[in-house]
């Protein structure tokens, strides 16, 4: 049965919950990256509460979310310059208007796709990023170690990795070290499971 992602978001509103704590860590990672108007994309954006309140005026952002109710919430919270796409974040096409992006969010993605898709997505990130562009990502539990390895193998420097000892969530920040690559329309990155 398909997961109820609207209900999944309810945990954000429980003070001290794992998701509420993860949100604060993600926002702390984003703040220094959003020090001026930026080009931002968010894959599987949910209701966008991590990035939308932090976007400096003049930013351009594309948030891609499959669930129409969550996309509608994101749309409501979105300032000017933000496009919310209700659709498949696993293919590059919706990112075309904002690529190359300076900041990419992949939060709540890598734990829900096969490892091969995680590898394919990270390998393709240089086609979505501007020079020195940064990715903020999350992954629960032991799988985060694999994600860090894949970033390292694909020319990214690790700027931060947060692993609170009393929580399962992990949050990483990786910056593209090598030159970016041209945007590739129609490229399949991942399929959500």
Ligand X SMILES: C[S@@+](CC[C@H](N)C(=O)[O-])C[C@H]1O[C@@H](n2cnc3c(N)ncnc32)[C@H](O)[C@@H]1O
Binding site for ligand X (CB under 6 A): 5, 8, 44-46, 50, 64-67, 70, 88-90, 107-108, 192
CB nearer to ligand X: pick between 70 and 144: 70
Nearer to ligand X, 6 or 155 (CB): 6
Query: Minimal distance in Å, beta carbon 101 to ligand X?
Result: 15
Rounded to a whole number of angstroms, the minimum distance from the CB of residue 179 to ligand X is: 28
- DSSP per-residue letters across the chain: ----HHHHHHGGGSTT-HHHHHHHHHHHHHGGGGSS--EEEEET-TT-TTTGGGPPTT-EEEEEES-HHHHHHHHHHPPTTEEEEES-TTBSGGGTTTPSEEEEEE-S-GGGS-HHHHHHHHHHGGGTEEEEEEEEEEEETTHHHHHHHHHHHTTEEEEEEE--TT-SEEEEEEEE-SPP----TT-B-----
* Minimum gap (Å) between residue 66 Cβ and ligand X: 3
Residue closer to ligand X by CB (options 122, 180) is 122
Q: Given the complex with ligand X, which of 177 and 188 has the nearer CB atom?
A: 188
Give me the least distance between CB of 17 and ligand X, in Å please: 13
């Amino acid at each position: 049965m398909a997961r109820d992602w609207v209900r999944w978001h309810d945990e954000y509103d429980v003070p001290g919950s794992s998701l509420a704590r993860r949100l604060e860590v993600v926002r702390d990672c984003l703040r220094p990256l959003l020090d001026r108007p930026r080009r931002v994309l968010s894959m599987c954006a949910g209701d966008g509460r991590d990035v939308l309140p932090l976007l400096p005026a003049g930013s351009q952002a594309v948030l891609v979310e499959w669930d129409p109710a969550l996309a509608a919430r994101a749309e409501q919270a979105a300032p000017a310059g933000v496009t919310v796409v209700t659709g498949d974040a696993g293919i590059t096409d919706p990112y075309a208007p904002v690529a190359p992006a300076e900041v990419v969010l992949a939060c709540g993605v890598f734990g829900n796709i096969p490892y091969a898709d995680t590898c394919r997505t990270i390998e393709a990130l240089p086609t979505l990023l501007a020079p020195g562009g940064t990715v903020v990502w999350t992954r629960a539990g032991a799988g985060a170690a694999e994600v860090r390895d894949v970033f390292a193998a694909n020319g990214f420097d690790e700027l931060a990795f947060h692993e609170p000892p009393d929580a399962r969530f992990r949050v990483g920040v990786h910056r593209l070290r090598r030159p970016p690559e041209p945007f590739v329309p129609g490229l399949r990155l991942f399929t959500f499971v």
